[in-house]
Structure 1
Amino acid sequence: MANGTQPSVPGEVGRRLLPVIIDEVARQDPDRAWASLPIDDYDLEQGFEDISYAAFANGINKLAHCITKALGAAPPDGGIEPIVYLGVPDIRYYMLIPAAAKAGRKVLFSSHLNSLELHLALIKQCACKAMLLSRGVYAGDILEELPMPTVEIPELDDLLDLAVKAEPFPYTKSYDEAELDPFVICQTSGTTGAPRPITFRHSTMSTLDMQTELPDVEGRKHMVWQRGVGTRFLMVASPFHAIACILAMTVYAFGGCILVPGFRNRPVEGINEMCDIIKYSNAKVGFMPSFLMELIARRDDAEDYIKQMDTVVYGNGILSDFAGDMWSKTTRIFDVWGSAEVCTPPQLESDPEDYQYCYFDVEAGGCVFKERDDLEYFGDDGARLELYELVMTLTPQSQRYIGYWESLGEGTKAPPAPPYPEYPTKEVWTPHPDPAKAAYAWRFVSRVQDLVADAGEFALAFEKALGKHGMVQHAIVLGEVDATPAVLIELADGVTRFDAIGLWREAIAPTNADVPEGSRVAENHVILIESGGFVRSSEGHMLRTQTQQKYQAKIDRVYGRAASEISASMRPRYQSIIETVEVSRVVEEQA
């Protein structure tokens, strides 16, 4: 899919530095497109405007000068000062990463969805010395608790304005000098525990660059994000999320793709707007959470949008047979696994019919699947599945291709022989039924914590039964001590509470008949939530704990407790978060 008529990405593979690549492309090929944004967010028929590398590099230099003018030059001892940024979810996040590196800083992206307590915890853990804000973002409660210098960065259009040229701000370090320097700090999504900071270094990024050098495995090519210079790559995700930062940098910096991140000045609100972006952006390749693919596949006009995409990669979720079959009629779809901690290990291109399986390069990735016979999960045919937990190991080979070990920094080196250090992912998989593929082809089943649900061993039976119902997007069974379970049900797109009146009778009552009395869900213990209400990460993971916290007042009413008070920390960080925050589907319920 690479465009051989255009220049390649400069530099030596595995030793390329993000700020250097951007400046070199801006000098050698200033008109090359870096990203593409709508001319008018509210009228996509006007088309999309390509943002050149000249404008991109110039905007980065403006930001770097802004930082040093407000906060001073980089620390003279060569240290890298941590700062935090809270901004409107636009491409300024991507511009700040190289700008901060040039200014001798590393920037923490703290999610807008965090509580005040979590913002404070992350900022303290990272020892941030200053805060950057974009206009219109509220941070008064944070600054009241943690006073620090505050800088408002320029507006996006001002940064991209080539009529105002910034003085060059070169990044002068070599790869050997910068290899272990941190340049951005993101947070984990919270799917397997409390969110915590993850530091990405230049060497972290080099592992993704190096994956293009891996040889084929048994005749199979590697699945890489570098799709070729000039390829329009759709990736609508929260720009403060780790997956957005890492994949966006890989796609444009190492792959030369044109990034299509969604709207120019606002988040994408709902599936209709997502479909409009597909229609008008002319993107042919993209990354999409599985739940979005599900929503598109269930539209009456699904084929009109699906056929526009040549290749779609989804990750860290489960794609139904219905949606997979719909998409695979005209589009190559690949299931790829990754996480904030690990980035994405080397993976292979799967066979078209195996769109529900990840094909791992287990040797290069240090991927070990350890049997978990203490856990149970049953397939649609009622048979118990073989379950294995994915464990990443630090071997001399995997260290070159796995971002996790490089993110730990200096001193993390692979031993020459076993036993190798391990990182348990807390995610459970089942092997491909074909013995010839079983060693490398695996289907994601669940996170470990979700197989040990609050309501006990029967919770999964309810969640599975509800998940198959056409009116349900997702369900969470809740357990309370000395009380019968309750269930939170997120309705499918377009389904109203009135439409769902028969859900208890159709999906829950039959399951009640098969479980002990104390594990049954009563009809008055069903909480219906409109489509998009469950909290999800940008990868599409449903965040169980955060969703329960969001609807704690409703849960309390079910169990007869007083509704909890709304704290000041629940004030939106910016106005557009009140109802819907882009297609990561983290939606604030209207009062």
Structure 2
Amino acid sequence: MGSISLEFEGEKLFVKLIDEKARLTPNHTFVRYPGEDWETKGFSTITWRQYVNGINKVAHWLDEQLGKSENNDTVAYMGPNDVRYAFVWPALNKSYRKCLLPDGRITKAGLSSLLKATDCKVWLYAQDDTSSLEELGIPDSSAKMQPFPSLEWCLSADGTPDYPYEKTWEEAKYEDILIIHTSGTTGMPKPIFTNNGYWACQTTMDIMARRHWPQGTLLETQVGKTIFTTCPPKWGAGISTMVAAPVYWDTVTVLPPPDEFSVSPSVFQKILRLNKIQGMWSAPQTIVALYKDPTTQPLLKSLDNIVYLGASLDQAVGDDLCMHTKLMSYISSTETGVRYILCPRDRKLWYTFEYAPEGSHKFVRQEGTGAAGDGSDDLYELVFVRPEDGKPSLYSSVWWNSMYKDVDTVETRELYAPVQDLGGSTRWEFKSRTDDLLKLNWLAKFNAKHIETMILRHPDVDHVLVGGEGRPVPFVIVQPKDGAGEGKTADELMSEIYDEAVAQANKADVGEIRIPRETVLLAKKEKPFKVSMKGLVVRKEVEKDYGEEIEEAYASLKKATGNKDV
């Protein structure tokens, strides 16, 4: 199923699709955003014609400030979480440059590595926000620093001459247009170069809808809807819901205030009162917070659909929400990009996945990965397989990624368990990543994610990290929620969490593996966990920060047990 030439002949290039929308539906809404005094004045609307005018203005400005680009130069942008991101990316692409979007929580060392790896020529920063320049070491880099004008300047673009983009699909399909990077939760962030083909896989949505009717695809449920995103534009899901969703899915995207992407219940109520919201894309922690508030739980249940991404959603919360709205999970990675996920026939399987066969793939059994330890519940890794004709298709982004040009299979490191849907078809429940499988020094394996999930159910636990690769037993570091230790000593709080959560994990986990009290640590207030913008613990950084405490814990265990091998 590699070829789509007989089925799809429409426009596929990102910037030309934007121009096409401005030509055909100039007065339709592209995005709605909160300006100054939005609580009293309401939200502002940007039409497709205004959007393209602004893009043309920025593209001309880029040439004036930086000169003409001859080699698809890399230009980075970091600013407040506002609509300027939506102007910068296509304007850079239209003026034959590619855009680098650094994550808002990237470290100085991580950014330095990214700038070198992408040969970044220019660092664009919002003229009204210079706070991070010194902190990130931008003046010490080789990149030219260039302030970027205000959002009001971008929107004051009536009468701007068009900026011509002359390339055809055949000329530009492999041309890089956006560089995103991995989160760095397990090491230094890695740049992922995404090209026109990678993004154009979303243009086959209508074809996939027809092929898989009446079951349908997840992306199909978004078409024509007004969606609210709480994903900041500094990461992939954020720029996708802000820009790609209106371009490819015909949505209208509604944005929160730039400093409110976590979205408190009071802000959520105000946004829904000022906009006709039908769907929502959000990280699980935001959904859970809104669900637990009695004033916003009914609002969540009134939505047509909710898509969560980046992490797992609390099972009890999801089981309730799925009975009132279309609750779905979107899973992907920066490297593999767009995946067509078929909707579940049983709404109670909201947390499972069925990948469309057009994106060639297979599930490969991984022996010894199940919790039972006897092979009866082994997990399966999702592996993408190159289409038979060897060419990338517009049904799956993975083969447009140049890092995979010399391989025929891509192991995602995502582990799943099979689940039966209505009618007997198989869906897949995501369980963990191969990175979460750790081996002790006596060769016993354990699933760190499985243990973390159980400990996170404790009401006082905010974040948890389980490690122990090459050790005799696992270690656990627990970061309590704010206020969890009031009226208790640290030892009392730790003992309570150990007895009510860690001990339960001991009972439920594999064979003879046990977590002793000595290797369970409480995070220090002066050393909070480093987490990504998706709310995921940056494992390597936390282990580094607590290296001394971990060694002391194992020394304490050795003393308590008298075991010289600890």
Distance (whole Å) between structure 2 residues aligned to residue 291 and residue 187 of structure 1: 22
Question: Offset of 1:126 from its aligned partner?
Answer: 1.0
Letter in 2 for 1:525: L
Is 1:268 the equivalent of 2:261? yes
Question: Offset of 1:523 from its aligned partner?
Answer: 8.3
TM-score by length of 1: 0.79
Letter in 1 for 2:222: R
Letter in 2 for 1:182: D
> Compared with structure 1, are the counterparts of its residues 202 and 512 closer, same or farther at alpha carbon in structure 2 (3 Å cutoff)?
closer
Structure 1 range deviating more: 184-193 or 114-123? 184-193
Question: Offset of 1:24 from its aligned partner?
Answer: 3.0
Partner-residue secondary structure (3-state), 2:523: strand
Question: Offset of 1:69 from its aligned partner?
Answer: 0.7
- In the other structure, the counterpart of 2:43 is 48
Structure 1 range deviating more: 520-529 or 324-333? 520-529
Letter in 2 for 1:62: K
Letter in 2 for 1:421: D
Distance (whole Å) between structure 2 residues aligned to residue 217 and residue 346 of structure 1: 11
1:167-566 equivalent positions in 2, closer than 5 A: 167-191=161-185, 193-214=187-208, 215-217=210-212, 219-224=214-219, 227-229=222-224, 231-263=225-257, 265-269=258-262, 271-272=264-265, 275-276=268-269, 279-280=272-273, 281-351=275-345, 352-361=347-356, 363-377=357-371, 385-396=377-388, 399-408=393-402, 412=405, 421-433=408-420, 437-439=424-426, 441-452=427-438, 457=445, 460=448, 462-479=451-468, 486-491=475-480, 496-498=484-486, 501=493, 502-509=496-503, 519-522=515-518, 525-527=521-523, 535-538=531-534, 541-548=536-543, 552=545, 556=548, 559=551
Residues 543-582 of structure 1 deviation map (CA, whole Å, 9 limit, x = unaligned): 4334445xx1x66457569xxxxxxxxxxxxxxxxxxxxx
- 8 Å CA contact 1:463–1:475 kept in 2: the answer is yes
Distance (whole Å) between structure 1 residues aligned to residue 322 and residue 471 of structure 2: 47
- In the other structure, the counterpart of 1:25 is 21
> Compared with structure 1, are the counterparts of its residues 27 and 429 closer, same or farther at alpha carbon in structure 2 (3 Å cutoff)?
same
Letter in 2 for 1:498: E
Question: Offset of 1:204 from its aligned partner?
Answer: 1.2
> Compared with structure 1, are the counterparts of its residues 528 and 145 closer, same or farther at alpha carbon in structure 2 (3 Å cutoff)?
closer
Question: Offset of 1:459 from its aligned partner?
Answer: 6.9
Partner-residue secondary structure (3-state), 2:364: strand
Question: Offset of 1:222 from its aligned partner?
Answer: 2.1
Question: Offset of 1:369 from its aligned partner?
Answer: 0.5
Distance (whole Å) between structure 2 residues aligned to residue 427 and residue 165 of structure 1: 50
Distance (whole Å) between structure 2 residues aligned to residue 105 and residue 286 of structure 1: 32
Residues 10-41 of structure 1 deviation map (CA, whole Å, 9 limit, x = unaligned): xx766322222222332443321111112446
> Compared with structure 1, are the counterparts of its residues 276 and 528 closer, same or farther at alpha carbon in structure 2 (3 Å cutoff)?
farther
Q: Which of 126, 132, 155 is the aligned partner of 2:118? A: 126
Question: Offset of 1:102 from its aligned partner?
Answer: 1.6
Partner-residue secondary structure (3-state), 1:525: strand
Distance (whole Å) between structure 1 residues aligned to residue 412 and residue 207 of structure 2: 26
- In the other structure, the counterpart of 1:71 is 66
Is 1:153 the equivalent of 2:141? no
Letter in 2 for 1:91: V
Partner-residue secondary structure (3-state), 2:117: helix
> Compared with structure 1, are the counterparts of its residues 504 and 207 closer, same or farther at alpha carbon in structure 2 (3 Å cutoff)?
same
Question: Offset of 1:155 from its aligned partner?
Answer: 0.9
Question: Offset of 1:82 from its aligned partner?
Answer: 1.6
Distance (whole Å) between structure 2 residues aligned to residue 50 and residue 453 of structure 1: 54
Distance (whole Å) between structure 1 residues aligned to residue 538 and residue 212 of structure 2: 35
Letter in 1 for 2:435: Q
- 8 Å CA contact 1:394–1:405 kept in 2: the answer is yes
Distance (whole Å) between structure 1 residues aligned to residue 308 and residue 116 of structure 2: 34
Q: Which of 30, 34, 37 is the aligned partner of 1:38? A: 34
CA RMSD of the aligned region, Å? 3.4
Distance (whole Å) between structure 1 residues aligned to residue 21 and residue 342 of structure 2: 29
> Compared with structure 1, are the counterparts of its residues 469 and 454 closer, same or farther at alpha carbon in structure 2 (3 Å cutoff)?
farther
Distance (whole Å) between structure 2 residues aligned to residue 87 and residue 349 of structure 1: 36
- In the other structure, the counterpart of 1:58 is 53
Partner-residue secondary structure (3-state), 2:17: helix
- 8 Å CA contact 1:431–1:438 kept in 2: the answer is no
> Compared with structure 1, are the counterparts of its residues 546 and 377 closer, same or farther at alpha carbon in structure 2 (3 Å cutoff)?
farther
Residues 213-265 of structure 1 deviation map (CA, whole Å, 9 limit, x = unaligned): 12434842222257334x211122121212323444431112221112321x4
Gaps of 5+ in 2: 1-7, 554-566
Letter in 1 for 2:73: E
Q: Name the % identity.
A: 21
Distance (whole Å) between structure 2 residues aligned to residue 457 and residue 464 of structure 1: 17
Residues 161-187 of structure 1 deviation map (CA, whole Å, 9 limit, x = unaligned): 34x643321222222222221111111
Question: Offset of 1:193 from its aligned partner?
Answer: 5.0
- 8 Å CA contact 2:98–2:177 kept in 1: the answer is yes
- 8 Å CA contact 2:368–2:375 kept in 1: the answer is no
Distance (whole Å) between structure 1 residues aligned to residue 395 and residue 92 of structure 2: 25
TM-score by length of 2: 0.82
- In the other structure, the counterpart of 1:111 is 103
Structure 1 range deviating more: 58-67 or 499-508? 499-508
Partner-residue secondary structure (3-state), 1:85: strand
> Compared with structure 1, are the counterparts of its residues 555 and 459 closer, same or farther at alpha carbon in structure 2 (3 Å cutoff)?
farther
Distance (whole Å) between structure 2 residues aligned to residue 169 and residue 24 of structure 1: 14
- In the other structure, the counterpart of 1:82 is 74
Letter in 2 for 1:210: T
- 8 Å CA contact 2:279–2:303 kept in 1: the answer is yes
- 8 Å CA contact 1:307–1:330 kept in 2: the answer is yes
Distance (whole Å) between structure 1 residues aligned to residue 520 and residue 244 of structure 2: 49
> Compared with structure 1, are the counterparts of its residues 490 and 384 closer, same or farther at alpha carbon in structure 2 (3 Å cutoff)?
farther
Letter in 2 for 1:427: E
